[in-house]
Amino acid sequence: MLVHALVSRDPIQVLDRISAATASEEPWAVLDVAWPTAQLDAARAQLDQAVATGHLRRGDLVTFTSGSTAKPRGVVRTVASWDASVGPLTAITGLTADDKVWLPGALSSSLFLYGAWHARAVGASVAPVGTDPREATVVHCVPAQLGRILDDVRAGRAARLRLAVVAGDRLPVGARAAAAQGGVRLVEYYGAAELSFVAYRDQDGPLRAFPGVEIDLRDGRLWARSEYLARGYLAGDGPMRRDDDGWASVGDLAEPVADGWEVLGRGDTAVTTGGHTVVVEEVEQVLRSLPGVVDAGVVGLADPRLGQVLVAIVVLAEPRDDAWLRGAVRDLPVPARPVRWLRVDALPRTAGGKLRRPELAVLATRLAGR
């Protein structure tokens, strides 16, 4: 049995090869063409070893995720697990064969790859990264891309866009209203490469369980059970934990609210400052909602008095001094207010749009002169 390791700069070629591999029922994987040769060779060796040991089977697919804190890791799932979610997502989004789906990111990211998968499943056409989006009616994107996409809508560069399917991070405050002003419906979902779809919302209010998903909260961490879950990892370990009853978790913090859930972020991004625990994703969401802030990341740096202090690294569309930034976050609890503001042209992000937090911490340390 062969494993099809798909790596190409041409997204359409990747899609065509996926179709061929899926039809053959042999396992396949999508690798990132931007990886160094040694990393690509190592991934291929892992795939071959997994086939040889029986860890990869017919009908399996492997996507690689670098997440926010780790090196690329192969996630193993079945083709059937993705096929099972096509119908529910189609019902939520209203996607049809008449749509053209814009994918402004590499197909090595499972978020964009699934967007292509879903489009092909319903017969819609695809506008991959690097192509003209003027005829696109639907886009799959991460929150960091949404602002620029809405700018394209307002400028007439994506005038036909009617729907944005967004995942991968918390939406900035006001994003839904901004999309509505441009005539774009916003569907947000929470999930992970390991869990696939878990919860979604298409209006203001809490996240609701995605059709076919059961949700449980254990010690503040979200667990899910569905037919969409991945089987595990290609090699080694990762954040996903499973129990004997079919539940799985990647360790994300959440809380129940009326009629749904709110996901607070990954537990390993919590910063303890002066005895208070702050989830940095919540602070980043506020910062990205500020006028003139294009992007923002928050890290905790060591402090002899408080243990850690929050440092914000921001990408600004227009000059803002520290006094303005401090004033803009005055409604945050005192422990959640950054004590240092650093400015950069771009933040380190993965192909899937997630912040590369180890690199962010190194960047903050260097810029802060620590």
Does the pTM exceed 0.85?
no
Query: How does pLDDT run across 150-170, given as a tens digit for each residue?
Result: 999 999 999 999 999 999 877
pLDDT at residue 215, as a whole number = 97
Is residue 68's pLDDT more than 60? no
With CA atoms as reference, report the closest residue to 350 among 56, 78, 67, 59. Answer: 67
Query: How does pLDDT run across 12-33, given as a tens digit for each residue?
Result: 777 787 777 777 788 889 888 7
Q: What domains appear along the chain, each with residue ranges and CATH number?
A: 78-262 (3.40.50.12780), 274-368 (3.30.300.30)
DSSP 370: -
Query: How does pLDDT run across 178-231, given as a tens digit for each residue?
Result: 999 999 999 999 998 899 999 999 988 999 999 999 999 998 899 999 999 999
Q: Which range has the top average pLDDT, 274-283, 323-332, 344-353?
A: 323-332
What percent of the chain is predicted at pLDDT more than 70? 95
pLDDT at residue 108, as a whole number = 83
Helix (H) or strand (E) holding 177, with range, is helix 175-181
**How many angstroms separate the CA atoms of 351 and 66, rounded?**
9
Over the chain, what is the mean pLDDT?
88
pLDDT at residue 173, as a whole number = 77
Is residue 70's pLDDT more than 50? no
| Number of other residues whose CB lies within 10 A of the CB of residue 234 | 22
**How many angstroms separate the CA atoms of 19 and 152, rounded?**
31
- Six token digits for residue 260: 């749904």
pLDDT at residue 160, as a whole number = 96
pLDDT at residue 69, as a whole number = 44
Category of 25 on φ-ψ map: left (φ > 0), alpha (ψ -120 to 50) or beta: left
pLDDT at residue 150, as a whole number = 94
Average pLDDT over residues 106-115: 88
Chain length of the chain: 370
Identify the band that residue 333 occupies on the pLDDT scale cut at 50, 70 and 90.
Answer: confident
Q: What value, to the nearest 5°, has the Cα angle with vertex 236 and ends 233 and 239?
A: 65
Q: Contact, 207 vs 190, CB < 8 A?
A: yes
Question: Hey, which bits of 221-306 come out as E strands?
Answer: 221-225, 232-233, 241-242, 248-249, 252-257, 260-266, 270-273, 276-279, 293-303
pLDDT at residue 248, as a whole number = 97
Is residue 244's pLDDT more than 70? yes
Is residue 36's pLDDT more than 70? yes
**How many angstroms separate the CA atoms of 171 and 286, rounded?**
10
